[in-house]
Structure 1
Amino acid sequence: MSTSPGVSTAPAPIRTSNDLGLGLLRQPTSVLFGPGQRRQIPAILESLAEHVLVVTDERMAASAEFSAISEELRSRGVRVSLYSGTRPDLPRENILEVTERFGSAGVGAILGIGGGSCMDLAKVVSIVLTHGGDVRDYYGEYLVPGPGCPVVTVPTTAGTGAEVTSISVVYDKDKGMKVGVASPHLEAVAAVIDPELTLTCPPGLTAAAGADALSHLVEAFTGRAKNPSSEDLATKLYVGKNRLTDLYARTGIPLLQSALGRVCANPADLEARSDTLFAAYCAGMSINTAGTAGAHAIQSPIGALTHTPHGFGISALLPYVMRYNLPTRVPEFAEIGRLLGTADVAGAELEQARAGITGIEHILESIGAPIDLKTLGLSPTDFDTVASQALLATRLTANNPRDLNHGAVRFILERGWAGDRSWWTI
């Protein structure tokens, strides 16, 4: 690969494959999908606890739909406590505040309703309320000693897939980075996915969330296959792309191609909202065992520096991370090209793979998402800092199909800042 002077890239790419033929999913006990299904939430919660803590944000707490859910819960004799102070990118302070306020309140179940931060907050609070300590005690994989109180997740945006994932991502300002609490014990007991709740999602947030969901599908489908041992399966959340995660990715990618542009053009299009939310659910199911990869590792420090939305940071990186990973994932990108209808099925596999990458870029462009790093306001003087911080996210870099080191991340940043979407020399 051509490089800038003084910049070393990763070693020659080595392809990994799922030689075991492994398929593995983690998921809530129940998933209920469809317009209007939020009306089942009170009955689900009534069966779980007499005292429910509802975790959401100010926008959702002020909605008529939220009031209807709360009133129905109370009419069934369920005591309802409310926390509506969830902030974007889930700061650790939110967790401290909730656990201090409700630590001795006898909460029996938690409803997390809102965007990814609301659902992540509900999941991690259930663990801290049950097992005590500070959330920092659980940073990492498989450090949660057991289940928390039951959690029901309800998304109001179509992006993170947090309703079905067993991880909560926390921003720790003292560390200056996002950290994951990853354990099967974070899995919700039920996810209620109602597209009608996304109808009031603002256009900018709809686009950013959609870009995030698309990146989840791409990174899960093109991520590293790991052929895990029995010990790996028992101790690691992300065990690599596999037959079952691929199944969900193959469903979600073409759904977003057809629905994302429509929903951004007409936010009231319920069919497009439904397809987008279903694709985001598919993405969550994919990343729950395959994980996200290089784009997510690099975006985190960029987001901290530029204060740009996560989904738009991901969209600005994805074209360049895909190009970097292409040598190890030609068959997968070629299949994406065929799924999107952008590849000539009679053409060479490499050309089909390139058509898959440009097809993903066209989806991002169609919703107005940025596809270069200069647009985010990132400065070249920050490249070394970003590269160093990105490599600390080892749970993500380990999923990237091509090895990453400091020089490789810097190379991606340089190409992304320049908007260089030529086909790099390999």
Structure 2
Amino acid sequence: MNYKNFPMVPRVIFGRGSFNQLSEIISPKRLNVHAPFVFLVDDVFKGNAWLTSRIPLAYEDKVIYISSNEEPKTSQVDDLVEDIILTSRQGTSGIIGIGGGTILDLAKAVAIMLTNEGEAKDYQGWDLVKNPAIYHVGIPTISGTGAEVSRTTVLTGPEKKLGINSDFTPFDQVILDPELTKGVDTNQWFYTGMDCFIHCVESLNGSYLNEFSKSYGDMSFQLCKEIFLQDTLSEAESQDKLMMASWHGGMSIAYSQVGVAHAMSYGLSYLLGTKHGIGNCIVFDHLSEFYPEGVSLFKEMKKKHQIELPKGICAKLHDSEFDIMINIALSLEPLWENAIGKNWKKTITREKLKNLYQKM
């Protein structure tokens, strides 16, 4: 038996206000005064002095504001890399991502592509990256995706939506400051939190499950139930717990895998541009056949927080468009194997997936 030897984030700091330690954390990593740190920041913080005034800019450091309204694309990574190379006189000291899953995934991908030739689309897959990434730091401002801890960066390319899965993807440093998640609107909080919950359901019910994944998945699952079903938590407690649920949820799939909801939501995202969190929710709502207990809890959480999911997003699609989504979903073989087992192709037919998509 040959066991996976996974990398983990080597340094992490947790605590309310820990963002203020960013300067002392990154200063020793500066290569020289002409090698900037590049901060990729969610543009919702543009003009938000509470956060932006605390970004420790020095010398030729720069902030690039990025919209997270769309899923990250390989072409976007290539454009960022080109811009950074052209404007950095003596290399780049590091990439710091400040935002949700979209920004964190872009930060990981840019750090990789600054040291690897070609285009980002060439590295979509498993273990295709040859050279270590440059120093990169992840600072989540919304909790749930697990992007801060995972070894993948999920990108939409010209032909597929697939992660750059590699040992060089994880951040060198993560700062978990729950204060940064204040002000997230209820729908966004719910969709991203459910990404975490769905990770855990898929991991805990998968054929790849082992005690390593289970210990993290169980913890995250219990935290999600506390956060989304109890009334006793203060806002600060809820923020702290969801940040840890996200971390544990991300860890639970490091040695395991996600499943049906993620495979099918990749199809929605690729064709319709549906954001990852809400896409998972739309799909998961119809997966009682695969995850009866998890879907039942999900519906309970949805009702409690008065969440109305979009309906009929596939109503006007043509057969050729369903085919595109089905092709994307079926290409994610490890997800299906985890969810159904080695013989998954016997039961997961194109017709079955089409019927499921038609309900959404």
Decide: shared fold, TM above 0.5: yes
- State the alpha-carbon separation in 1 of the partners of residues 308 and 262 from structure 2: 15
Query: Can you give the 5+ residue segments of structure 2 that lack an aligned partner in the other structure?
Result: none
Q: Which residue among 313, 322, 333 is the counterpart of 1:394?
A: 333
Query: Can you give the 5+ residue segments of structure 1 that lack an aligned partner in the other structure?
Result: 1-19, 226-240, 327-353, 420-426
Q: Does 1:158 align with 2:126?
A: no
Q: Which residue among 24, 46, 51 is the counterpart of 1:43?
A: 24
Q: Deviation of residue 146 (structure 1)?
A: 2.4
Higher relative contact order (CA 8 A, sep 6+): 1
Per the alignment, in what secondary structure is the counterpart of residue 146 of structure 1? coil
Q: Which residue among 134, 145, 148 is the counterpart of 2:133?
A: 148
- State the alpha-carbon separation in 2 of the partners of residues 23 and 393 from structure 1: 19
Paired residues, number: 348
Amino acid in structure 2 at the alignment position of 1:386: M
Q: Does 1:299 align with 2:265?
A: yes
Shift in CA distance, 44/319, structure 1 to aligned 2, threshold 3 Å? same
Q: Does 1:252 align with 2:220?
A: yes
Per the alignment, in what secondary structure is the counterpart of residue 399 of structure 1? helix
TM-score (norm 1): 0.74
CA contact (8 A) 1:157 1:206 kept: yes
Mapping for residues 7-406 of structure 1, pairs under 5 Å: 26-49=7-30, 50=32, 51-70=36-55, 73-74=56-57, 77=58, 79-87=60-68, 88-104=70-86, 105=88, 106-172=91-157, 174-175=158-159, 177-225=160-208, 241-260=209-228, 269-324=235-290, 354-355=292-293, 357-369=295-307, 374-379=311-316, 381-382=318-319, 383-402=322-341, 403-404=344-345
Q: Deviation of residue 161 (structure 1)?
A: 0.8
Shift in CA distance, 406/64, structure 1 to aligned 2, threshold 3 Å? farther
Shift in CA distance, 247/181, structure 1 to aligned 2, threshold 3 Å? same
Deviations along 1:28-61, one digit per CA (max 9) or x if unpaired, are 0012122111112111111212521111221124
Q: Does 1:411 align with 2:349?
A: no
Per the alignment, in what secondary structure is the counterpart of residue 83 of structure 1? strand
Amino acid in structure 2 at the alignment position of 1:218: V
CA contact (8 A) 1:158 1:210 kept: yes
Amino acid in structure 2 at the alignment position of 1:167: T
Identical positions, percent: 23
Amino acid in structure 2 at the alignment position of 1:146: N
CA contact (8 A) 1:249 1:283 kept: yes
1:342 corresponds in structure 2 to: none
Q: CA RMSD in A?
A: 2.9
CA contact (8 A) 1:148 1:185 kept: yes
Shift in CA distance, 359/91, structure 1 to aligned 2, threshold 3 Å? same
Per the alignment, in what secondary structure is the counterpart of residue 102 of structure 1? helix
- State the alpha-carbon separation in 2 of the partners of residues 133 and 262 from structure 1: 49
Shift in CA distance, 41/127, structure 1 to aligned 2, threshold 3 Å? same
CA contact (8 A) 2:156 2:270 kept: no
CA contact (8 A) 1:251 1:282 kept: yes
TM-score (norm 2): 0.86
